[in-house]
Amino acid sequence: MPQLDATSQSTRYPAIVILDFGSQYSELIARRVRETEVFSLVMGYTTTAEELRAIAPRGIILSGGPSSVYEPGAPVCDPAIWELGIPVLGVCYGMQLMVQQLGGSVVAAGRAEYGKAPLHVDDPIDLLTNVEDGSTMWMSHGDSVERLPEGFLRLAHTDNTPEAAVADHQRRLYGVQFHPEVVHSTGGMAMLRNFVYHICGCEADWTTAAFIDEAVADVRAQVGDKKVLLALSGGVDSSTLAFLLHKAIGDQLTCMFIDQGFMRKGEPEFLVEFFDKRFHINVEYINARERFISKLDGITDPEEKRKLIGTEFIRVFEEESKRLGPFDYLAQGTLYPDVIESAGTGIDPKTGERVAVKIKSHHNVGGLPKDLQFKLVEPLRRLFKDEVRKVGRSLGLPQEIVGRHPFPGPGLAIRILGEVTSEKLNILRDADLVVREEVKEAGLYNEIWQAFAVLLPVRSVG
């Protein structure tokens, strides 16, 4: 049975599995499938046919990748996958691998194709139902199919790619030489819906409401009557997690908010008022401002500042958790991209070479002392960031929380170039507030990812 971290707290298995061959778009494919309200997961290309049979997905998508299928050592999937009877969609490299493993041939293209290209539909059924002839598709390939395997037919072509979409209808095997998951492919979502619903027969059961119900049940089953500690930062993830846990276990949850003195203007007061006073979620406010700023005395290197702040945070967290506890569980805001990154796929997306599996310590608890002996509860670990925001809204979090811009853990300390002082922090807080207010006044706050001020160590004129 494969390692399915993202479903470890739930009996839900993915309806669609994406096998990752090192594409920069593998996560995006999973997100696009989830936008159709169908649950999907990314797994490594080494996943075996038997492991897939045990999961029993309704469909499999083979991602793109930077390799060439005819090169020695190129990543390949278990050839027994083709005999499972499960519909498969190969995307770019995934299509080329399908063609080669099933008896066709792939060669270096006489002319590589990158960018937008109109798709000329030759067979508007199954995969290409309701995909308009001439739809724009995003091409990114240097190889092309020279000969199709027996049983395959052409579905569509572009001006430079004769076999842009192919299919073996009888075995429900499909391939596209473009990326339907990217926004540039105007008919891409229609194509993915065709595969997910009409070809694979999936049901639209991956909804925000369904996730909340499952997560609440999972947390209650895991935690029982034990106590849970959450390090609350006020960001989207920890705020959504606080609301979800409070819905599940009520006063068994304690949120620890450590004010290290590097937050934006008015944020500490707002967060305590919001969670504790307005929604009656137990928040323990820890004022550690002087402790943190004293650690940065004379420090100018940004990476050294980051490490010192992280180390001190761990020390404060350890001291306060022992004072407030004991606690059995630590709630962590791990998201699905963290799970994917931690697991690794064995392929470098830039070079296509096999690499050692990378293990990433999640920033929320990286380096916490082992003697704290927490068990982890991570109910958001199946979600992408946009899904977390949807959950937050459904749980009643206001837009000022779920729509807020990302903010680094070390806060304003790393937006001050040079030494950090109380005076500089006050200047930057005021400047940052002005920037954010102007962006909001212009109606742009929800249109851009980040907007913030940085304090330079030099005087300048504009």
Q: pLDDT for 421-457, tens place per residue?
A: 999 999 999 999 999 999 999 999 989 888 999 999 8
Which residues are known catalytic residues? 92, 179, 181
Which structural domain, as residue segments, surrounds residue 248?
Answer: 209-410
pTM score, two decimals? 0.84
Q: Which of 410, 426, 448 is the last residue of a domain?
A: 410
Shared-domain flag, residues 347 and 225: yes
- Asked if 199 and 172 touch (Cβ cutoff 8 Å), the reply is yes
Q: Residue ranges of the chain with pLDDT lower than 70?
A: 1-11, 342-372, 462
Q: What is the pLDDT of residue 250?
A: 96
Say which residues have a Cβ less than 8 Å from residue 252's Cβ, sequence separation at least 6: 223, 225, 226, 227, 228
Q: What is the pLDDT of residue 201?
A: 95
Token couple for 10: 């739930």
Shared-domain flag, residues 183 and 324: no
Other CB atoms within 10 A of residue 171 CB: 16
- Asked if 329 and 376 touch (Cβ cutoff 8 Å), the reply is yes
Does residue 322 fall inside a structural domain? yes
3-state helix, strand, coil in the chain (%, to 5): 35, 20, 45
Q: Which of 410, 426, 454 is the last residue of a domain?
A: 410
Does residue 447 fall inside a structural domain? no
Shared-domain flag, residues 293 and 378: yes
Cis bond before residue 2 (omega within 30° of 0): no
Shared-domain flag, residues 176 and 276: no
Say which residues have a Cβ less than 8 Å from residue 303's Cβ, sequence separation at least 6: none
- CA gap 446, 387 in Å, rounded: 16
- Asked if 22 and 348 touch (Cβ cutoff 8 Å), the reply is yes
- Asked if 177 and 146 touch (Cβ cutoff 8 Å), the reply is no
- CA gap 431, 446 in Å, rounded: 20
- CA gap 127, 327 in Å, rounded: 52
Does residue 427 fall inside a structural domain? no
Shared-domain flag, residues 183 and 232: no
Shared-domain flag, residues 39 and 65: yes
Look at strands 40-44 and 329-331 and give their pairing: unpaired
Token couple for 373: 């002996």
C-alpha distance across the termini of the chain, in Å: 61
Shared-domain flag, residues 177 and 60: yes
Q: What is the pLDDT of residue 61?
A: 97
Q: What is the pLDDT of residue 354?
A: 40
Q: What is the pLDDT of residue 10?
A: 53
Domain count along the chain: 2
* Residue with tokens 């507030």, as numbered in its chain: 433
Q: Which of 377, 393, 410 is the last residue of a domain?
A: 410
Q: What is the pLDDT of residue 371?
A: 59
Q: What is the pLDDT of residue 159?
A: 87
| CATH code (residue 116) | 3.40.50.880
